[in-house]
Amino acid sequence: MLHFLRSLVCLISITHPILAQTADSLIISGRQMLQVGESASDLGAMYAARATFERTLADAGLAAWSHYYIALADYRIANLLGDESKEQTTEHLKTAVEHLQKATEIDPQAAEAYALLSSVYGLQIGLSPMKSMFIGPKVGKAAQKAKQLAPDNPRVVLSAALNDFNTPEMFGGSKEKGLQGFRRAVELFAQEEPTDPIQPVWGHREAYAWLGIAYQDRGELESARAAFEKALEVDPDFGWVKDGLLPELEKASSPDAP
């Protein structure tokens, strides 16, 4: 009996810090897990981050942020899964939309949620282009709402630039407009000073990555390289750039490249 009581006390002492975590601290922990998981292409860490965000739903005061971060995890996971796991990717994007709709119902002024919603819709179109006639107007509507609420928010600007760059010209897209948007986004990220620890802080490295892609698309390879290197200054472990975009650029820049 004494051994059992000692074991019980030991178990309580270990789990107490976890049980005592506030929703705020869980969101911060989940964000860190999500970034590490994405940088390393580690789905396990990304799902762990998502589960951490789900635990914060019990705090009604942070419900809008809880839904936002669950959606962000779904969006990141869908990005990583891509076409290779289309059914799973589709489900994660569907769930992301549902959570972002809940976030905007709770807080109609949630510019961050509208911006992410626009990007999620854009990814849905990329996954199933045939749905563009149905989803396309939703992309623009969410982006416009985000812009009305927070025109100088760097993630709002980045989301709009992504839509401009990836939308075909016949449907209103513009690679040049997208490039200008990426430029503005990196400037805004450099100036960003979050006042609340649970506010989103992601996007700086992604903005540089997309700026590099836009430059490479124009054949401006040195500018592309500079942008990719800036992305790695923000996050040296950013796998998408370190293991993908930058090596591919080096191959394209090689004298032996076709």
Q: Tell me the per-residue pLDDT of 124-154, one tens digit each, with 9 for 90 and over.
A: 999 998 888 889 899 999 999 999 999 999 9
pLDDT, tens only, 48-100: 999 999 999 999 999 999 999 999 999 999 999 998 899 999 999 999 999 99
pLDDT at 258 over 70: no
Asked if 228 and 208 count as a contact pair (C-beta separation under 8 A), the reply is yes
Instruction: For residue range 87-118, list pLDDT tens digits in order.
Output: 999 999 999 999 999 999 999 999 999 999 99
Task: Give backbone dihedrals phi and psi of 199, rounded to 5 degrees, phi first.
Answer: -65, 150
Residue entry with tokens 């407009």? 177
CA-CA-CA-CA torsion for 102, 104, 106, 111, nearest 10 degrees?
140
pLDDT at 171: 81
Phi-psi sector, 173: left (phi>0), alpha (psi -120 to 50), beta? beta
pLDDT at 217 over 50: yes
Report d(CA 172, CA 148) in Å as an integer. Answer: 19
Domains located in the chain, CATH noted: 46-150 (1.25.40.10), 152-192+201-237 (1.25.40.10)
Q: Which H helix or E strand runs over 183?
A: helix 175-191
Rounded Cα–Cα distance for residues 20 and 229 (Å): 40
The pTM of this model reads 0.87
What's residue 21's pLDDT?
78
Q: Which amino acid is at 205?
A: R
- Which amino acid, residue 10? C
Task: With a cut of 70, say whether residue 186 has pLDDT above it.
Answer: yes
89 SS3 class:
helix
Q: Which of 158, 79, 76 is nearest to 126 (CA)?
A: 79
Provide the pLDDT confidence category of residue 12 given band limits of 50, 70 and 90: very low
**Chain mean pLDDT for the chain:** 90
pLDDT at 84 (0 to 100): 86
Q: Average pLDDT in the 162-173 region?
A: 89
